[in-house]
């Protein structure tokens, strides 16, 4: 079958270069985390902070941190490869080896991910919104009083300066010192828990199920000349792909700057032609052509790419049936994202059940000692298991100390964990290069619409638990769960490049901590210096945060009942996911992939066009050329994605950040 040929062609990135085939290193180099690698990683992260501050926060020329991998990570990798080429020619310094390059790439990618609009920026918005946006209609300062001092500064003037600029131009660091440390600790606990879970799942997903980890192939192709038969940058296909991406972006830039064309890439809205009932129920019907989704989506199996676009069409048919044929007026129907969160929760439970062996064996080894289990690897499971438990418990204690009810904390963090694990599976199996590839916001909203609002809000006047719960919307609507995706890929990439799993864990955990600290620094300086509302980029997420707190204030006065249509959609999504899984396990040839359904419900509007294109191209190549044709075209598609990252992200983003003016008429968004 086609997908079998793809699997053979793709192989396992984690086993392409066994560690035994690499020369034995000594000292720190045996781990790849050398002193110079750490120094360079910190330097690149710090320099990236200035680039992000100018390109995303001030000028809003592009959102490079939304890319997967992040544009700063790709930029650092390219600069390192250029530097290595110069070092080999001049012989003035010793070139970086493969483990060092991988360590720098992983650190910069994860650290700058913390700078992004969906994490650092959104958190600051949630911490400041109830202090700044208070009004007689929605006196949010009455909710702000329930936020403890160690979470957010208590002086409303500090938040006023954040949005409008401080007269002295100096950041009131004394007000942000404690919150910065506290939130960095929270990110380390919850992020560390996710990394530990990925260490436990990596063996089953990589060694037993032999998932291909598509997104790992791009950096490995670039870093390791022995990874493929012909080095990546010496193939004509790669340069053709890079050239096509440059041409596409050049056309977009000319259209955007001189003719007012659409930003972000080519797309066609077929919904404009659908007017009048019942056809208007199919709107919007946008087909996006995103180079990074097409290029990296080439690595996805044809059955999965087929499922993604098929289930998006299926969702449109649901809307057509409900609104167009039956005439029901249900705003939001067919509630695709609500179906998505149901699918994600059920799939998360399945993944935990199927991957329970390391959890069980690690627990036995922990309770009964190293000889308490028949699995010789049980001892290696103990520390990741302990780390996962302590990380989750630490996050619960953090929220409880802030005043959030224990049951609500455990429920919310549990749903977030399930979403994060499924997202990691998505990256491991499908490799979709998108930080928003999950039902964003639904982990938070689903808890609300499943019960009467009075259960969450409480009887008053103490609304502390609900206030903290609403503050944590950034964990659901933002993209911190993507840490799990970088974690599972980091362990795979590290293994393929000669790094030990434990060293990768500490590297990624350090990147989360350093990234969180740097994120506060590089955001607060422009906000207080110029005022967030005066910047072109504004304060991303402030509108969502304001709406959440305003809705909470309304709920304290007018409780809302459970939302039955959304409950039905959520349960239906979970049930359909379970059905698809059962059918797939019983009938091997089933073309409907459960993960494709979950992805289509999450962000199908953006996914379906690129994956329809990829599915069609790959089906033709595999049918008439076999896996040899697939491999021949692979560098071209990877080059297509890489060219887009470099031209639209690094180069154009830098021009917009540095020069402004007409260079800001064409914005590039990777989310």
Task: For residue range 171-208, list pLDDT tens digits in order.
Answer: 999 999 999 999 999 999 999 999 999 999 998 898 88
How far apart are the C-alpha atoms of 548 and 320, rounded to whole Å?
31
pLDDT in tens, 119-135: 999 999 999 999 999 88
- Give the DSSP per-residue string, 385-414: HHHHHHHHHHHHHHHHHHT--HHHHHHHHH
How far apart are the C-alpha atoms of 166 and 172, rounded to whole Å?
9
Q: Residue 418, Cβ neighbours under 10 Å: how many?
A: 21
Regarding predicted confidence, which is higher, 23 or 282? 282
Q: What is the pLDDT of residue 30?
A: 52
Across residues 385-390, what is the average pLDDT?
95
H or E element at residue 642: helix 626-644
Residues 88-92: contacts with CB under 8 Å, at least 24 apart: none
> Is 70 exceeded by the pLDDT of residue 20?
no
* Phi and psi torsions of 287, nearest 5°: -115, 110
CA 21 from chain centre, in angstroms, equals: 33
Across residues 270-280, what is the average pLDDT?
74
> Is 70 exceeded by the pLDDT of residue 25?
no
Residue 235 three-state SS: coil
Q: What is the pLDDT of residue 31?
A: 56
Helices (H), 430-500: 442-449, 453-457, 464-471, 474-477, 482-496
CB-based contacts of 58, cutoff 8 Å, min separation 6: 526, 530, 535, 536, 537, 657
Of 475, 474, 455, 457, the residue nearest 466 (C-alpha): 457
Across residues 440-464, what is the average pLDDT?
88
Q: What is the pLDDT of residue 372?
A: 60
Q: How many residues does the chain have?
A: 671
pLDDT in tens, 277-298: 777 777 778 888 888 889 988 9
How far apart are the C-alpha atoms of 215 and 547, rounded to whole Å?
36
How far apart are the C-alpha atoms of 315 and 339, rounded to whole Å?
10
Across residues 433-445, what is the average pLDDT?
90
Cβ(475)–Cβ(431) under 8 Å? no
- At 520, the pLDDT band (50, 70, 90 cuts) reads very high
**Percentage above 70 pLDDT, the chain:** 92
CB-based contacts of 635, cutoff 8 Å, min separation 6: 221, 228, 230, 232, 235, 237, 238, 241
pLDDT in tens, 296-345: 889 888 888 999 999 999 998 888 888 767 767 777 788 999 999 999 99
Q: Convert 342-356 into a string of H (helix), E (strand) and C (coil).
A: HHHHHHHHHHHHHCH
H or E element at residue 286: strand 286-289
Q: Is 212 left (phi over 0), alpha (psi -120 to 50) or beta?
A: alpha
DSSP state of 64: G
- At 50, the pLDDT band (50, 70, 90 cuts) reads very high
pLDDT in tens, 466-492: 999 999 999 999 999 889 999 999 999
Q: What is the pLDDT of residue 24?
A: 47
Structure pTM?
0.92
């Amino acid at each position: 079958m086609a997908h079998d040929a793809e699997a053979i062609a793709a192989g396992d990135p984690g086993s392409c270069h066994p560690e035994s085939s690499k020369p034995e290193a000594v000292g720190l180099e045996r781990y790849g985390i050398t002193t110079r690698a750490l120094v360079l990683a910190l330097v690149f992260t710090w320099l990236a902070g200035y680039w992000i501050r100018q390109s995303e926060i001030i000028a809003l020329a592009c959102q490079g941190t939304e890319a997967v991998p992040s544009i700063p990570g790709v930029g650092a990798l390219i600069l390192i490869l250029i530097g290595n080429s110069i070092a080999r020619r001049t012989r003035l310094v010793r070139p970086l080896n493969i483990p060092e390059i991988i360590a720098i790439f992983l650190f910069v990618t994860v650290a700058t991910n913390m700078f992004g609009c969906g994490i650092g920026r959104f958190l600051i918005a949630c911490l400041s919104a109830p202090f700044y946006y208070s009004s007689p209609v929605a006196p949010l300062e009455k909710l702000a009083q329930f936020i403890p001092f160690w979470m957010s500064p208590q002086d409303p003037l500090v938040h006023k300066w954040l949005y409008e600029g401080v007269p002295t131009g100096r950041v009131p660091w004394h007000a942000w010192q404690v919150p910065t440390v506290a939130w960095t600790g929270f990110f380390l606990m919850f992020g560390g828990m996710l990394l530990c879970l990925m260490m436990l799942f990596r063996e089953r997903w990589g060694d037993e199920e032999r998932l291909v980890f598509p997104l790992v192939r791009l950096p490995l192709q670039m870093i390791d000349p022995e990874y493929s038969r012909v080095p990546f940058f010496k193939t004509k296909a790669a340069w053709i792909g890079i050239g096509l991406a440059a041409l596409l972006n050049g056309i977009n830039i000319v259209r955007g700057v001189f003719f007012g064309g659409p930003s972000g890439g080519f797309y066609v809205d077929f919904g404009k032609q659908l007017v009048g009932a019942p056809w208007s129920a199919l709107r919007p019907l946008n087909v996006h052509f995103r180079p990074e989704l097409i290029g990296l989506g080439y690595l996805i199996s044809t059955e999965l790419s087929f499922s993604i676009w098929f289930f998006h069409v299926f969702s449109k048919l649901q809307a057509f049936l409900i609104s167009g044929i039956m005439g029901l007026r249900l705003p939001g129907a067919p509630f695709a994202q609500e179906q998505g969160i149901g699918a994600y929760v059920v799939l998360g439970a399945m993944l935990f059940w199927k991957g329970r062996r390391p959890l069980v064996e690690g627990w036995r080894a922990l309770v009964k000692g190293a000889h308490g289990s028949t699995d010789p690897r049980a001892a290696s499971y103990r520390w990741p298991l302990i780390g996962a438990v302590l990380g989750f418990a630490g996050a619960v204690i953090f929220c409880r100390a802030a005043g959030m009810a224990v049951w609500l904390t455990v429920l919310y963090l549990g749903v977030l964990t399930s979403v994060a694990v499924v997202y990691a599976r998505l990256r491991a199996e499908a490799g979709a290069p998108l930080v928003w590839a999950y039902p964003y916001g639904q982990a938070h909203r689903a808890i609300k619409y499943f019960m009467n609002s009075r259960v969450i809000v409480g009887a008053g006047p103490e609304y502390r638990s609900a206030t903290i719960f609403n503050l944590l919307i950034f964990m659901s609507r933002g993209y911190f769960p993507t840490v799990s995706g970088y974690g599972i890929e980091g362990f795979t990439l590290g293994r393929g490049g000669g790094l030990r799993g434990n060293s990768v864990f500490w590297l990624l955990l350090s990147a989360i901590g350093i990234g969180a600290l740097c994120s506060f620094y590089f955001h607060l300086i422009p906000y207080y210096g110029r005022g967030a509302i005066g910047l072109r980029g504004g304060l991303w997420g402030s509108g969502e945060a304001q709406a959440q707190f305003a809705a909470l204030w309304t709920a304290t006065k007018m409780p809302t009942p459970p939302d039955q249509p959304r409950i039905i959609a959520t349960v239906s999504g979970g049930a359909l996911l379970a059905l698809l899984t059962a059918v797939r396990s019983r009938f091997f040839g089933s073309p409907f992939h459960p993960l494709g359904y979950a992805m289509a419900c999450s962000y199908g509007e953006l996914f379906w066009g690129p994956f329809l294109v990829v599915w069609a191209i790959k089906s033709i190549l595999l049918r008439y050329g076999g896996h040899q044709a697939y491999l021949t075209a692979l560098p071209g598609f990877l080059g297509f994605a890489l060219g887009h990252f470099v031209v639209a992200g690094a180069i154009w983003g830098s021009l917009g950040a540095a020069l402004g003016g007409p260079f800001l008429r064409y914005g590039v968004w990777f989310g």
